[in-house]
Amino acid sequence: MENIDILPYSPELSPFFKSINKAWVEQLFAIEPFDQAQFDSPEETIIKPGGTIIYAKLGEEIVGTVGLHKVSDGVYEMIKMGVNEDAKGKGIGMILAKAIIEKAREMGGKKVVLYTHSKLSPALRIYQKLGFKPVELEEGKYCRCDIKMELDI
């Protein structure tokens, strides 16, 4: 298998954050206003408030991405983890998840939370393997999410 390189956020790569995530969100759910804001302005909605985005590169192609949104001091939310359809099954989601947790730790994070849906079973398996535990889901956070998980780091 080819090597997967993890690349840090750069404005040149932000179109991949939109294209990779838009594909799976539209396929399984519907784009919500907060999705559109994150896709259109990742600098304003994710980076400037203290978060980050990373990318997975396979060969010459960007094949995956995941974001980290700062919730409060020491708490980050893992957001928008996506892998291109043709790159699935190669462990890229796990590599991205491990890398973004490490990034949260470097940024002073003590806890990573995420919101997901029960029909996203490959993602759920990754989160469980990494030690995320289900916690109570607050009302009205995201329309499409039925699971909240967190990990102390």
37, 33, 34, 65: which is closest to 52 by C-alpha? 65
Its domain, for residue 138, covers 4-152
Tell me how many domains the chain contains: 1
Q: What pLDDT digit, counting tens, does each position of 94-153 carry?
A: 999 999 999 999 999 999 999 999 999 999 999 999 999 999 998 777 778 899 999 999
Instruction: Please tell me the pTM assigned to this model.
Output: 0.95
- By C-alpha distance, which of 70, 65, 39, 41 is closest to 54? 65
Q: Read off the CATH number of the domain in which 8 is found.
A: 3.40.630.30
Q: What integer pLDDT is reported at residue 118 of this predicted model?
A: 93
